[in-house]
Amino acid sequence: MSDLDVQIKRIQEKVERMLKRFNELQRENTQLKKELEKSSRQSSQYHQTIDALKQKVEVLKISSGNWDENDKKEFEKRINHYIQEIDKCIALLSE
């Protein structure tokens, strides 16, 4: 074989290795995307569960009547905020 044939063969082998590696990386990338999507869904579900549990804790605090001053102030702020939002909705409806 001539030097040119040897160089062409080496180039072909390198291209084949690169294509093989490219395909492997594509499969790995696809798998990682699937795992990321699954993790994102789980994270979202966990956040929803945490929010629901926080609401339950607040309901239990309210129903127990054992509040400290900070809890009372926070509750009053939240109620006032809800009242303001309701007032805004009423104002928009009456326009």
Residue range 40-68, pLDDT digits in tens: 999 999 999 999 999 898 888 777 777 77
- Going from N- to C-terminal start, the domains of the chain cover 1-64, 67-95
Q: Which residue has the tokens 């929803």?
A: 48
Q: What is the mean pLDDT of residues 82-88?
A: 93
Mean of per-residue pLDDT scores for the chain: 91
pLDDT at 4 over 90: no
Cβ–Cβ < 8 Å for 84, 92: no
- Closest by CA to 62, choosing from 72, 52, 53, is 72
pLDDT at 16 over 90: yes
Q: Give 22-41 as a 3 state SS string.
A: HHHHHHHHHHHHHHHHHHHH
> Residue 80 CA to chain centroid, in angstroms?
31
Q: What is the mean pLDDT of residues 21-45?
A: 97
- Per-residue pLDDT band at 31 (split at 50, 70, 90): very high
Query: So what's the pLDDT on residue 86?
Result: 94
Q: How far apart are CA 76 and CA 70, in angstroms?
A: 10
